[in-house]
Amino acid sequence: MGIKRKKGSIQTGKKPILINHLKQIINIIDEQKIEKIKKLRNRTLILIGFGGGFRRTELISIDHEDLEFVEEGLKITLRKSKTDQFGEGFIKGLPYFTNEKYCPVTSLKNWLNLSKIKTGPIFRRFAKGPTLTNNRLTDQSVVLIIKDCLRLAGIENQNFSGHSLRSGFATVAAQFGADERSIMTMTGHKTTQMVRRYIKEANIFKNNALNKIKI
């Protein structure tokens, strides 16, 4: 307590990827002059990561066998995560978006059709050129892809990380009025502390007392 009083306990986390960032990233990926298969993997990785509020380790762990496409969208089974140490499993549901361009489910369908992945990891590394390997992406690869896409979109990427997709989902969901229970259902948070922080930051201007002052 003495250290906290002297040094403070404020947390300076990495920036979340918000809706405007997400659209800029997807737009710039689609405009890139590279092989279509590479563009589709990267845009799908980012959209699924954001849409499901995934940790980067969870994102790269997804196998084809963990996917179930249903009428409403997509079910993804996480067999183990940071908050599920006993491997009980956890299912996330991603509905279809009205705008297909930014829809994680539509992008994933297109990626699976083009890559012809039928089993094993859905997010894989490339060898030379457009040759897709059977090797799963690493969590560090996710960070590098995110930072590179931010750079291409003209967004300062120093303060973003692999966690920015997850925190971005929670922050944006809170901005659009989602309650903490529904956010936690998607992210898998076991306590409300971090989720309430996202909600607080999302509403910092919405419920600002200064809005009541007319000058």
Q: Which of 100, 90, 127 minimizes the C-alpha distance to 44? A: 100
User: Encoding tokens for residue 185?
Assistant: 């259902």
Q: 38, 125, 163, 197: which is the annotated catalytic residue?
A: 163
Annotation says 102 is catalytic: no
Annotation says 197 is catalytic: no
Q: 39, 55, 92, 124: which is the annotated catalytic residue?
A: 55
Annotation says 190 is catalytic: no
Annotation says 136 is catalytic: no
**What is d(CA 29, CA 6) in angstroms, rounded to the nearest whole number?**
46
Annotation says 21 is catalytic: no
Q: Which of 205, 183, 204, 208 minimizes the C-alpha distance to 194? A: 183
User: Encoding tokens for residue 86?
Assistant: 């006993």
Q: 82, 101, 190, 206: which is the annotated catalytic residue?
A: 82
Cβ atoms of 130 and 38 closer than 8 Å: yes
**What is d(CA 137, CA 140) in angstroms, rounded to the nearest whole number?**
8
Alpha-helix residue ranges (DSSP H) falling in the chain:
2-7, 19-31, 36-51, 56-61, 104-115, 139-152, 164-175, 180-187, 193-202
Annotation says 189 is catalytic: yes
Residue written as tokens 């009025």? 177
Catalytic center residues: 55, 82, 163, 166, 189, 198
